[in-house]
Amino acid sequence: MATKIDYYEILEVTRTASADDLKKAYRKQAMRFHPDRNPGDDAAEHKFKEINEAYDILKDDQKRAAYDQYGHDAFEGGGPGGMGGGFGGFGGGGLGDIFDQMFGDMMGGRRGGGRRSGADVQVQVEISLTEAFSGVSKPVEVRTRVKCESCHGSGSADPNAGSSTCPTCHGAGKVRAQQGFFLVERPCPTCNGSGKTISNPCKVCHGAGTQAKTETIDIDIPAGVEDGTRIRLSGKGEAGGEGVQPGDLYVHVSVQTHQIFQRDGANVYCRVPLRMTQAALGTEVEVPVIDGGRTKVRIPAGTQTGEQFRLRSKGFSVLRSSARGDMYIQVSVETPHHLTKRQRELLEEFEQEAGGDHAKASPESAGFFSKVRDFFEGR
């Protein structure tokens, strides 16, 4: 079998070419090798077919993605034009198996080694920031399917009755269906993925071997967990009937915002507003700590808005580590308003007392306006 030429080489474009670049290249090449312009030229006719084949694949985003990853193997057997044969040779491996691996778990029907399993279940649990700090056990209601209590998961009303091979999937427990570009695999609707049909099905589960149930499960959430963390509990998902292992339970953790603390990784930040006089003269403030305690922080005279003070190892635990984050006190200096007459007089006296010595009392302000003056003088 002749080796196929790279589609990008056929169109004479790079692999990063945009859709517009592909269209322009296709029109140029197609016009050049069109049979009407090259009557009786078999080589030009063959080239024209290659150009159309290449553009048909690359103009489609899904087909192009498959080609970029797997090359010509992505379209073996079905022909590059319309994918006519349901992906042709996928039944014996290749890209079909790759799609199985990509989508098998989503269909609730595969685990490693081709074993079938019940469907996975997903729930969300919301915890406070302090619970995320210390760790917590949360009861969560889970709507799932469990082994049928009447038939003990066999699906049969008569435990001595036999079963026969499912006529729909021929015992495979799964069926395939074409959905656009993809070949999707799902559990067989006739036998629910068991590969067998039961002559005398259980009247409670109707042969499925499972029944719906709402269970309350205690979820242990470790200290240091972050917002958006997903916890997997193996075997806590839906039961899959006789001979089928249960699926998994995935718990998505949502951490509430806190009225005092903000978190960044393992570090905790606490914004502390100070009166202008406190920041100017210096003070000592008592602040809360995420572990429920409290600590005193000395604020030196002349502290400015935005300055931070670090409290070592007062932050969150780092998962699977003995390390601890830090806590940062972020200072915000508050300008007074609604002044009394006496307060205004005192501030005016302070302003007059500063006189021409503003550079010493407020160096940043004095420096800025000095630069402004130089700017205008320079103009």
Among 210, 255, 251, 215, smallest CA distance to 233 is for 251
Q: What is the CA radius of gyration of the chain?
A: 35
Distance CA 292, CA 340 (A): 38
Whether residue 253 contacts residue 223, with contact meaning beta carbons closer than 8 Å, is answered with no
Distance CA 151, CA 176 (A): 30
Is 151 known as a binding-site position? yes
Which residues, 6+ apart, have CB-to-CB distance to 276 below 8 Å? 333, 334, 335, 336
Longest dimension (CA), the chain: 105
Which residues, 6+ apart, have CB-to-CB distance to 260 below 8 Å? 270, 288
Among 279, 255, 260, smallest CA distance to 270 is for 260
Measured over the CA atoms of residue 313, residue 314, residue 319 and residue 320, the dihedral's sign is positive
**Of how many residues is the chain composed?**
379
Is 270 known as a binding-site position? no
Is 191 known as a binding-site position? yes
Feature table: binding site = 148, 151, 166, 169, 188, 191, 202, 205
Feature table: binding site for Zn(2+) = 148, 151, 166, 169, 188, 191, 202, 205
